[in-house]
């Protein structure tokens, strides 16, 4: 059931500011002040959109819930796939460690590799929405464009895997104030991360691992990539170098790697993941 959009306090304040500025101009109080206020407001909203972990533009899941923290859960999220060369190896690494992950998949890639998408689900993981085409101009799309882009991915993933996404991650984490009403209308929760390894641009797996492990704490949401993956100097995808060591660290520190859906209900089990 679709829920009515509930704007964030910052969006409400922005609307009030715009109305106040227009009223001020109409009352002859001086348009330079009104324009200055509106420009400053737009600058704040723009900065918020460029800050992936910001909550100014709407609900944004940046850390797991308190019950998940109590259960020593950490969520590993893997973006931009599925990739036919890398994703099967990622699945094998996760299997070997008895870990679950959340794959934020691009709808177009799911369309191109439906069997691989279904294999992700079969292995006990979850696939969530990462837009249909991961367009570089996603954050400046209009309302209708955003709705079509996200809805198309939602449809492709649901029809291919039999599971409807409940989480969404914006391409590169960038967004505009228009994203929140679209996500609310589709019953999707925006998810960012606690820490990332920058494994799409790095070449040193040690530095990527260090970024992910530094300050690692229960409830963290970690970001890696199986699509658009950065490569080591030897030509191996960074995620394949980093993930086994990261999982060893989690195990040594008493953490359990679970999917976002499992973390949302720590008493749940993987029974029903493949149902």
The one catalytic residue among 134, 199, 225, 226: 225
User: Would residue 248 show up in a list of annotated catalytic residues for this protein?
Assistant: no
Q: Per the residue annotation, which of 79, 83, 180, 220 is the catalytic one?
A: 79
Q: Is 113 a catalytic residue?
A: no
DSSP string spanning the chain?
-PPPP---HHHHHHHHHHHHHHHHHHTTS-HHHHHHHHHHHHHHHHHHHHSTT--TTS--B-S--HHHHHTTEEEEEEES---TTTHHHHHHHHHHHT---EEEE-HHHHHH-HHHHHHHHHTT-EEEE--SS--TTGGG--HHHHHHHHHHHHHHHHHHHS----EE--GGG---TTHHHHHHHTT-EEB--SEE--TTT---HHHHHHHHHTT--TT-EEEEESSS--B-TTS-BHHHHHHHHHHHHHHHTT-EEE-HHHHHSTT--STTTT-
Q: Decide: 145 and 133 in contact? Cβ < 8 Å.
A: no
Q: What are phi and psi of 70, to 5 degrees?
A: -60, -30
What's the rounded Cα separation, in Å, for the pair 111 and 84? Answer: 12
Active-site positions?
79, 225
């Amino acid at each position: 059931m679709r829920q009515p959009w509930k704007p964030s306090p910052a969006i409400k304040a922005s609307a009030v500011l715009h109305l106040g500025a227009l009223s001020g101009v109409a009352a002859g109080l001086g348009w330079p002040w009104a324009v200055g206020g509106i420009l400053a407001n737009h600058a704040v909203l723009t900065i918020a959109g460029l800050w992936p972990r910001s909550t100014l533009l709407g609900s944004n899941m940046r850390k797991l819930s308190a019950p998940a923290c109590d259960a020593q859960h950490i969520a590993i999220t893997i973006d931009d796939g599925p990739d036919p060369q890398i994703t099967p190896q990622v699945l094998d690494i996760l299997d070997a460690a008895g870990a679950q992950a959340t794959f934020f998949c691009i709808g177009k890639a799911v369309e191109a590799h439906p069997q691989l998408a279904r294999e992700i689900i079969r292995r006990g993981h979850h696939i969530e929405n990462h837009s249909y085409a991961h367009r570089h101009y996603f954050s400046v799309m209009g309302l209708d464009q955003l709705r079509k882009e996200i809805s198309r991915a939602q449809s492709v993933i649901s029809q291919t895997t039999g599971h409807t996404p409940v989480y969404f991650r914006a391409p590169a984490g960038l967004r505009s104030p228009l994203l929140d009403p679209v996500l609310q209308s589709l019953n999707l929760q925006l998810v960012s991360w606690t820490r990332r390894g920058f494994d799409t641009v790095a070449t040193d797996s040690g530095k990527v691992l260090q970024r992910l492990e530094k300050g690692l704490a229960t409830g963290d949401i970690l970001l890696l990539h199986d699509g658009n993956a950065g490569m080591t100097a030897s030509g191996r995808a960074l995620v394949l170098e980093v993930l086994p060591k990261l999982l060893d660290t989690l195990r040594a520190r008493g953490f359990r790697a679970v999917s976002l859906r499992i973390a949302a209900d720590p008493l749940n089990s993987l029974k029903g993941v493949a149902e």
